Structure 1
Amino acid sequence: MSVNFGSKRVVTGAHYGLRDWLAQRVTAAIMALFTLIVLLQVVFTSGPVGYEAWAAIFSAQWMKALTFAVFVALAYHVWIGMRDIWMDYVKPAGIRLVLHMFTIVWLVSCLGWAVQVLWRL
């Protein structure tokens, strides 16, 4: 007697689904909260908002650390999105690998630049 029910589909892939979906939501929430904090600081700044006001907002050590954490969250958010785009739309494995490596190098470079900018103030 043969069984005619159940899935015979072979499931393959990286199985990142729920973890990456949740990571994108968490990183988006971190970035939204940071944006709200910066907007509130700008709104409650007395006087014109020029270079001095921006430098004052980001001069506190906790703000530099928070900003760097947001940059890391942004880089991870971008990595998940770009990796999914490369995996979904670029079929040749060699080209996909090159694009993945380029994306990683670009994001790490941007994080290095963010460190230079933040701790230069």
Structure 2
Amino acid sequence: MKSATGLTGSGSRDWYLQRISAVVLAVYTVVVFGWIIFHPHFDYDAWFGFMMTLPMKIFSLLAILSLAAHAWIGMWQVFTDYITTRQMGPSASGLRLVLTTAVIVAVFVFVIWGIQIFWAN
């Protein structure tokens, strides 16, 4: 039987993973904006010092991976829901393959770049 899922092998697990990743991203946004609000005159050194602490590096890595999972699951759902042979004819399979490949490459590059930013120094 062919699996019709995006990331985890199960539609319900994908749904939960997307919701968990959304919570992680929301908390990360609140933490970063909260730091900015309470440091209105910060400079590069203060920002660098905050973002390069071990807890923020780990939290940033978690946010990067959450964003990658969230984006992949969301785009996979959009592609499978809206790029169908019923709506677009036989060319839909090729278009979906091209778009899916582009998203995979973009997400992979984003994750590698994010890891490099936080962990390369």
Quick check: TM above 0.5? Answer: yes
Aligned positions of 1:20-99 closer than 5 A: 20-45=14-39, 48-91=41-84, 92-99=92-99
The amino acid across from 2:78 in the alignment is I
Q: Deviations over 1:8-67 (max 9, x none)?
A: xxxx8716432222211110001111112222322333x612212211111212211110
RMSD: 2.1
How far apart are the structure 2 equivalents of 1:42 and 1:98? Answer: 39
In structure 2, the partner of 1:113 is 113
Runs of 4+ in 1 over 4 A off after TM superposition: none
The amino acid across from 2:37 in the alignment is V
Q: For structure 2, which runs of at least 5 residues remain unmatched after alignment? A: 85-91
The amino acid across from 1:33 in the alignment is V
In structure 1, the partner of 2:103 is 103
The amino acid across from 1:111 in the alignment is V
Q: TM-score, normalised by structure 2?
A: 0.77
In structure 1, the partner of 2:88 is none
How far apart are the structure 2 equivalents of 1:29 and 1:78? Answer: 14
Q: For structure 1, which runs of at least 5 residues remain unmatched after alignment? A: 1-11
How far apart are the structure 2 equivalents of 1:82 and 1:31? Answer: 17
| Aligned pairs, number | 109
Q: TM-score, normalised by structure 1?
A: 0.77
